Amino acid sequence: MNTLAKLILALAVSLCGARISAAQHSADDGHGHGHPEHTMPTRSAPYSERVLELAAALPVQDGGRVKPLSTFADFTLLRFNGKRSLKLDDGTKLDATTWLLDVLFYPQQAEAYRCFQVNDVHAIEALGISTAGKKKRDRYSFHELEPGISKLFELARQYRAKEERLRSSVEQQIFTLASNVDDYFALKSHFDFARAAFDVGQSPELVATLGGETASFSTILAKLPRLIELQSAWRVDPARAEDSRELVRLVQSAADYSSVTSSLALMPALVTEPANANWHTPSDVLSSTFETEEPMREHLETLAAFETLAMSIGDPARFESALAALHGRTVATAIQRGEYAKVPLEISYYKAQLLTYSLAIFLLGFVLTGLLWIAPRLKLLYAASSLAVVVSTGLLVTAIVMRCMIRGRPPVSTLYETLLFVAAVTTLVLLVVEWINRQRLALSVAAAFGTIMLFLANGYETLDKRDTMPQLVAVLDTNFWLATHVTAITSGYAAGLGATAIASVYLVCRLFGATRRKPELARLLTRMTYGVLCFALIFSVVGTILGGVWANDSWGRFWGWDPKENGALLICLAQLVILHGRMGGYLREFGLAAATAFQGTIIAFSWFHVNLLGVGLHSYGFTSGIHTSLWTYYTGQWGLIAFACGHYWLERERSKAVAQALTEQRVTSVSSDVGAT
């Protein structure tokens, strides 16, 4: 009998949980919100430092790992807004954690924040929303989008059926916006369950069981076994049919409120279940309580802590102490489960902004090395430039090391990390070259290269909008091969691009006649290109073969002509052609530079372009949106090579003409001498 009652209640719960999404549900209802709205307090003062610290350090399980809430907030806001911070209409700047706290605890206030970036105003017009006064690329608040939400989800459902590559830019914008609005809605409704006072109804037994005419979510959960008992008795008693309906409505209502909580798993699994790696949401706890009919005390206490926190908004002191209590509980459990150790380090990593400072100092180094070419004898300037490049490289290396410590992995496991690693290795190699030559050249290239690569890394992160320390698929989850093959091949990319950068400098110098005026500069650049290319070949060849050895261990074949494998082979072949061509005398100074500059585009093809093909076993790297950047690079690099070749040809023709004129002049003067004799 109990089982049947449980089934009826469970069905009520599952009906709520089965919705496609909360926002779509509310849009389909024709409301802007899933739950009844009351006028809620607005935040009149900034959060205290302590509140922000506690919130930032609150652990959450997201993307398959436990991370600080600040990281979750950063990447969520980056996805919505295209930036990790938000500027309000009154000029106030909110960091991501503050924004998230507002969305969670002051949802009505946050609805006015323009946090949805839309790159094409036509996407908004397609929703039937007025765009008067808006720029082509602008930001919108939830309030502004609300009238078009039904249309937004209707269109998104249509576009879902299309492959991403077949969607137009506006269609893709609409699809992405729908996904963001959906996620936003889940966040703004997350604590509705904790804010709600559920109407118990008229039944005296229910009132007695739940201790009043209204009940909190945690109270309903605590009494769920008793509620199931009551339902099993009332279900078969016609006199209690109304009470039975009331009870089902109450449980359904609780399930409805908790059904939007799945995006934020803030409740650690119990210490007593170490094998369970999944953290929980209130919705999970409700479902599991149905299964076990035994509410877990720890979960009930955490839910009560959420309720206390949600009910204390408007009173900063109470809010702080409630947040501290929740933080204390969650962190203690996470520590006991061994899941908190890396959270403080991750907070420090993002707080330190090492990559931002590294980029700024690289940029400074770039300016200083530029000045160094104007005033080459200024030793202080040379020292300052060197210091800037060394410090920025040091910061970059520190950032990479911290990332390794946080994830417990070697330095490269994602495409984003290849950008950081390539920047670090190339600048380190160029610093070594500078240390050997001390001619300012390698230092200048290092500063320029570091700046460009960190700009690219920053752009990639903004474009990708996802956590840059994600979990890895099973085949990649091996520290041995990540440390050997991936590190070696990425070092090959790095050195190859370093050689390309030096060779490109040579071509530019050649175009401007600098190599003719200063032959020793040309010789130096050629030596540097050759040296760095040799270094690149070692890592490219070893990295490529190690990739084959890894493939042999994972898939049973050393070489499968997969696009990524082919890309690596292309790099090795290009470098071998250049070095053999040089050895055979087919490529001299100019040829070596032009070929090495071309080799850079082969590296770009192998590094990123093969992932765009969408075939092969390595298509797990993010790639969409980088097509334009790649073609810009190809065009620029090939253009430089073409101009340099044209210039070289003209130079040769001019030299030939001069040589011929000299010869003719000599012949004429010799014959006149003979005539005179």
Partner 1 sequence: MKLLKAVYDGLSSLWLSCTLLMFLALLTWLGTLDQVHNGLFEVQRRYFESWFLIERIGQIAIPLPGATLVLAVLTINLTLGGLVRIRKGSATAGIIVAHVGILMLVFAGYVKMNHSEDGHLTLFEGQESNTFESYHFWEVALFERIDDARVREIVVPQADFAANTSGAPVALRSAELPFEFELKHFTPNSRVLPKGPMFTPKLPVADGYFLEALQLEKENEHNIAGVYAAVTPKDGGQRSESILWGASRQPWTVEVGGKTFGIELRRQEFALPFVVRLDDFVKEDHPRIDMPKVFSSDITVDEAASSRQVKISMNEPLRQDGLVLYQSGWGPQNARPGDPLFSTLAVVRNPADQYPLYACIVIAVGLVLHFGRKLKKHISSQGAQAS
Residues that bind partner 1 (CB under 8 A): 61-65, 265, 277-279, 436-437, 471, 473-475, 477-478, 481, 527, 531, 534-535, 537-538, 541-542, 545-546, 548-550, 552-563, 566-567, 569-570, 573-574, 576-577, 580-581, 583-584, 586, 610, 613-616
Q: With respect to partner 1, which residue has the nearer C-beta, 363 or 569?
A: 569
Minimum distance from CB of 557 to partner 1 (Å)? 7
Minimum distance from CB of 645 to partner 1 (Å)? 17
Q: With respect to partner 1, which residue has the nearer C-beta, 150 or 500?
A: 500
The three-class DSSP label of residue 214 is strand
Minimum distance from CB of 548 to partner 1 (Å)? 5
Q: With respect to partner 1, which residue has the nearer C-beta, 25 or 564?
A: 564
- The full length of the chain comes to 677
Q: How far apart are CA 284 and CA 282, in angstroms?
A: 5
The residue among 66, 138, 668, 612 whose CA lies nearest residue 335 is 66
| Rg of the chain in Å (alpha carbons) | 32
Minimum distance from CB of 179 to partner 1 (Å)? 16
Q: With respect to partner 1, which residue has the nearer C-beta, 232 or 540?
A: 540
Query: In Å, what is the CA distance from 658 to each residue of 267, 590, 672?
Result: 82, 20, 21
Minimum distance from CB of 265 to partner 1 (Å)? 6
Q: How far apart are CA 215 and CA 252, in angstroms?
A: 14
Q: In sequence order, what are the residues at sequence separation of 6 or more whose Cβ sits closer than 8 angstroms to the Cβ of residue 611?
A: 415, 564, 618, 619, 621, 622, 623
Angle CA 638–640–644, to nearest 5: 115
Contacts of 120-124 with C-beta under 8 Å, sequence gap 24+, read 120/169, 120/170, 120/173, 122/170, 123/170, 123/173, 123/174, 123/177, 124/148
Q: With respect to partner 1, which residue has the nearer C-beta, 132 or 583?
A: 583
Q: With respect to partner 1, which residue has the nearer C-beta, 43 or 466?
A: 466
Q: How far apart are CA 196 and CA 254, in angstroms?
A: 9
Q: With respect to partner 1, which residue has the nearer C-beta, 114 or 466?
A: 466
Minimum distance from CB of 115 to partner 1 (Å)? 24
The three-class DSSP label of residue 574 is helix
Q: Which two tokens stand for residue 252?
A: 């359904």
The residue among 579, 560, 577, 548 whose CA lies nearest residue 484 is 548
Minimum distance from CB of 496 to partner 1 (Å)? 14
Helices (H), 259-353: 282-292, 297-311, 316-336, 343-352
Minimum distance from CB of 566 to partner 1 (Å)? 4
Q: With respect to partner 1, which residue has the nearer C-beta, 102 or 182?
A: 182
CB distance 491 to 543 below 8 Å: yes
Phi/psi of residue 112, nearest 5 degrees: -90, -5
Q: With respect to partner 1, which residue has the nearer C-beta, 559 or 643?
A: 559
CB distance 268 to 255 below 8 Å: no
Minimum distance from CB of 492 to partner 1 (Å)? 12
Q: With respect to partner 1, which residue has the nearer C-beta, 69 or 456?
A: 69
Minimum distance from CB of 181 to partner 1 (Å)? 21
DSSP-assigned beta bridge partners for residue 489: none
Q: With respect to partner 1, which residue has the nearer C-beta, 497 or 551?
A: 551
Q: With respect to partner 1, which residue has the nearer C-beta, 513 or 614?
A: 614
CB distance 4 to 231 below 8 Å: no
Q: How far apart are CA 411 and CA 401, in angstroms?
A: 7
Which residue has tokens 């950081």?
420
Minimum distance from CB of 558 to partner 1 (Å)? 5
Q: In sequence order, what are the residues at sequence separation of 6 or more whose Cβ sits closer than 8 angstroms to the Cβ of residue 257?
A: 35, 192, 193, 196, 198, 217
Minimum distance from CB of 290 to partner 1 (Å)? 16
Minimum distance from CB of 555 to partner 1 (Å)? 6
Q: With respect to partner 1, which residue has the nearer C-beta, 359 or 415?
A: 415
CB distance 597 to 503 below 8 Å: yes
Which residue has tokens 């890309």?
567
The three-class DSSP label of residue 198 is strand
From the number of C-beta atoms within 10 Å of its C-beta (0-12, 13-18, 19+), residue 238 rates as exposed
Q: How far apart are CA 485 and CA 476, in angstroms?
A: 11
First to last CA, the chain: 134
Minimum distance from CB of 337 to partner 1 (Å)? 12
Minimum distance from CB of 326 to partner 1 (Å)? 20
HSE toward the beta carbon, residue 601, CA cutoff 13 A? 17
Q: With respect to partner 1, which residue has the nearer C-beta, 88 or 549?
A: 549
Q: How far apart are CA 499 and CA 601, in angstroms?
A: 12
Q: With respect to partner 1, which residue has the nearer C-beta, 148 or 567?
A: 567
CB distance 53 to 120 below 8 Å: no
CB distance 171 to 164 below 8 Å: no
Q: With respect to partner 1, which residue has the nearer C-beta, 586 or 649?
A: 586
Minimum distance from CB of 550 to partner 1 (Å)? 8
Q: How far apart are CA 562 and CA 555, in angstroms?
A: 12
